[in-house]
Structure 1
């Protein structure tokens, strides 16, 4: 343990933890039910491994680092310091952050030659995969107990805190560990949201980045047409209040939240009937998914989050404003000095921004991506995925993600480096 600028950090290097994938029990039960004949032995094995286990299985160097934030959350980062066929040594660092309900596994499940983390490691980068507070790998705190149903303090955070506390902790740690002055940042969906939060609230961090590669970065939802999102948004405050009152601050960390919500609120005549009957858009164009990979995806996602993260996105949709979390008038006055939460000042985000989007993305509509790009002072370019049906989850799960997006991301990173 060492102290760095008032933040306590623990580093575990190349640690083999006896741990399985977040949803390994669920997937293993599926295999045992008789469906296992559809899948190869490798898929079965990979579906039970956690993210570090997957990285090590495929011959890449792997390190697990624990990073403690200034507000006491103990976060886990998974590092691939170099490619399989290269030697250790200084190289550009890149931090990759996952989306809502996800984890570092998003960037390795497609496997060597296809997954973003491996592609970058083989291209000469020092790859760091972050895990935001509250997901499967980052359910620890110096004081709070995430499993307590009495005290829900661990879960009282949204993606505002992830951007304000988690990202600075990761970035300072990585730069100190690698000796680099700057790093690249890649964020998918909420991973892009938190980057915007960080540099809006702490503009001094802009100087620590070479580039921002936003993969469908979530900010505005003016053009959202996902029925579940639109159904949920008007009730964001009611749902969160009820969830915390019932000791359900965590969502999808286990299947308890879903069963609790269904049994308590999906009843005849419930005001939430429209939510119960709606769904997100799923995997999109299934022609671009290898069906044999589905158990592996299911084993790692969802990986857990706070109900307040969902509620905060609900507020963005409800009020059509990308702004800080809305508590109530008195708490807002105390925290922000005003009755309503302030909007994030995107003019403060002056990192060279390379924004990648899909025309088939319903969760983060391309028009809302354009709106964000127009408000960032240093948008270098907008990069459309090369397939019209490219969807929100294609960024992490599609067979053709390498050719549609990742190759462009790599070129954009090189471009940013040439302009330092």
Structure 2
């Protein structure tokens, strides 16, 4: 991969390499310049209609006004749930290696089947509710009679605690999604089943939330029997053919970026603070000329889909996302991208020999994932492309179906934030959950 600047200052592929003194600036320049250079990048964007339809965000007029948008930017997951008239609970789960996870619940008391929703990279439990009761998947599941549990992986906004380690210390951040899969998810499942006295639950995982499920069931296969169904939304297992420009640049400069973070003593990826919330509330709100920049950064990462992006809600989305992750976590995904494999973290030859007994890191054994899995994928997903989805389908032994979202521009983040996600994805997911639970699939 080579990059050049054109006369407008836009990055594009060229014959000669460009060398940058600080690799992080490459990513920043990409994010800031590419949205204004779509012709160079050939993103196939369509002209925005001046009379583009306005989207009703919530079920009442009051909840769609600017004041509510600003308020929802700052509310926590449980505060959002309570604000819109649903019951909410906060639970604490301690993992085997000492991380304290905050799990959120929309409880039903009358022996309702539990369902666990697990977010993706940089995300949190809020992703399932921040679009409001007319759009959020968690609300829909509750309305359909499920006992809804929302996970938070270690290192995000709600799970930044440990029984002995401080998040200000590098030791706290010495994890990838591997540890989330072998510690966080099993501990959360055990807690839910003990609390509800059910023997099994439904699992819904988006992106990394699907990856961690596969890791859990491959390395701790006893958890397969605790799953009724697993609904994988844009599962980020095999990602070698992903075409996101941001990810391509970051993986190309993987070593330089990691070395830079190590040199400055930074082990956490997070920009979700009050200062950033004020910035996004101002620059990303409806009517601002800078709003397109906010959505284009998301599109560069996940795939362009203006029709399903509720631009009015951008301040709320960016008030909750990104919710934090470890640098090592992102590094692990970079390794998956560069290798085209779904494998454990590669520490280098010497450490691999000590840890794994072999020179290279081993692949996760997906033949051990015997729980029933339904795969939901999108044609315009820049991170998890159809070819990689098919590779995953072939590797799993008990796939009940592979379902392409019936909307050509649907992208990676549309699984949680799309305007029409209920009709395009969630109704299908719930239908499959019922069929599997009733033994009809």
Alignment TM-score > 0.5, same fold: yes
Q: Once the 2 structures are TM-superposed, how far is the Cα of residue 375 of structure 1 from its aligned partner?
A: 1.1
Structure 1 contact 228–278 (Cα < 8 Å) conserved = no
Judging changes above 3 Å, is the alpha-carbon distance between structure 1 residues 388 and 278 closer, same or farther for their aligned structure 2 residues? closer
Secondary structure at 2:307 match in 1? helix
Other-structure match for 1:318 = 338
Other-structure match for 1:338 = 358
Q: Once the 2 structures are TM-superposed, how far is the Cα of residue 44 of structure 1 from its aligned partner?
A: 1.6
Other-structure match for 2:133 = 112
Structure 1 contact 199–349 (Cα < 8 Å) conserved = yes
Q: Does 1:134 align with 2:155?
A: yes
Q: Does 1:351 align with 2:371?
A: yes
Q: Once the 2 structures are TM-superposed, how far is the Cα of residue 39 of structure 1 from its aligned partner?
A: 5.2
CA distance in 1, matches of 2:354, 2:366: 23
Secondary structure at 1:56 match in 2? helix
Structure 2 contact 97–183 (Cα < 8 Å) conserved = yes
Alignment of 1:393-412 (within 5 A): 393-412=413-432
Moved more, 238-247 or 188-197: 238-247
CA distance in 1, matches of 2:320, 2:247: 23
Q: Does 1:99 align with 2:120?
A: yes
CA distance in 2, matches of 1:93, 1:205: 15
Corresponding residue to 1:391 among 411, 421, 431: 411
Alignment of 1:164-179 (within 5 A): 164-179=182-197
- 1:89-141: CA deviation from partner (whole Å, max 9, x where unpaired): 21111111000000001100121132100000110111100000000000011
Structure 1 contact 227–278 (Cα < 8 Å) conserved = no
Other-structure match for 2:144 = 123
Q: Does 1:246 align with 2:272?
A: no
Other-structure match for 1:284 = 304
Aligned length: 356
Q: Once the 2 structures are TM-superposed, how far is the Cα of residue 332 of structure 1 from its aligned partner?
A: 1.4
Other-structure match for 2:54 = none
Other-structure match for 1:381 = 401
Other-structure match for 1:18 = none
CA distance in 2, matches of 1:278, 1:183: 32
Other-structure match for 1:59 = 85
Secondary structure at 2:214 match in 1? helix
Judging changes above 3 Å, is the alpha-carbon distance between structure 1 residues 100 and 154 closer, same or farther for their aligned structure 2 residues? same
CA distance in 2, matches of 1:415, 1:372: 23
CA distance in 1, matches of 2:102, 2:298: 34
Q: Once the 2 structures are TM-superposed, how far is the Cα of residue 238 of structure 1 from its aligned partner?
A: 4.0
CA distance in 2, matches of 1:318, 1:120: 37
Q: Does 1:233 align with 2:218?
A: no
Judging changes above 3 Å, is the alpha-carbon distance between structure 1 residues 404 and 123 closer, same or farther for their aligned structure 2 residues? same
CA distance in 2, matches of 1:285, 1:212: 26
Other-structure match for 2:106 = 80
Secondary structure at 2:301 match in 1? coil
CA distance in 1, matches of 2:234, 2:138: 17
Structure 1 contact 228–279 (Cα < 8 Å) conserved = no
CA distance in 1, matches of 2:97, 2:182: 10
CA distance in 2, matches of 1:230, 1:44: 34
- 1:362-399: CA deviation from partner (whole Å, max 9, x where unpaired): 11112211110111100000111121111111111111
Aligned structure 1 segments of 4 or more residues deviating by more than 6 angstroms: none
Moved more, 238-247 or 221-230: 238-247
Judging changes above 3 Å, is the alpha-carbon distance between structure 1 residues 178 and 213 closer, same or farther for their aligned structure 2 residues? same
Structure 2 contact 240–339 (Cα < 8 Å) conserved = no
CA distance in 2, matches of 1:398, 1:205: 31
Corresponding residue to 1:153 among 154, 163, 171: 171
CA distance in 2, matches of 1:101, 1:204: 28
TM-score normalized by the length of structure 1: 0.81
Structure 2 contact 244–303 (Cα < 8 Å) conserved = no
CA distance in 2, matches of 1:348, 1:253: 37
Q: Once the 2 structures are TM-superposed, how far is the Cα of residue 279 of structure 1 from its aligned partner?
A: 8.5
Other-structure match for 2:75 = 49
CA distance in 2, matches of 1:66, 1:208: 20
CA distance in 2, matches of 1:238, 1:72: 32
CA distance in 1, matches of 2:328, 2:255: 9
Secondary structure at 1:287 match in 2? coil
Q: Once the 2 structures are TM-superposed, how far is the Cα of residue 281 of structure 1 from its aligned partner?
A: 3.3
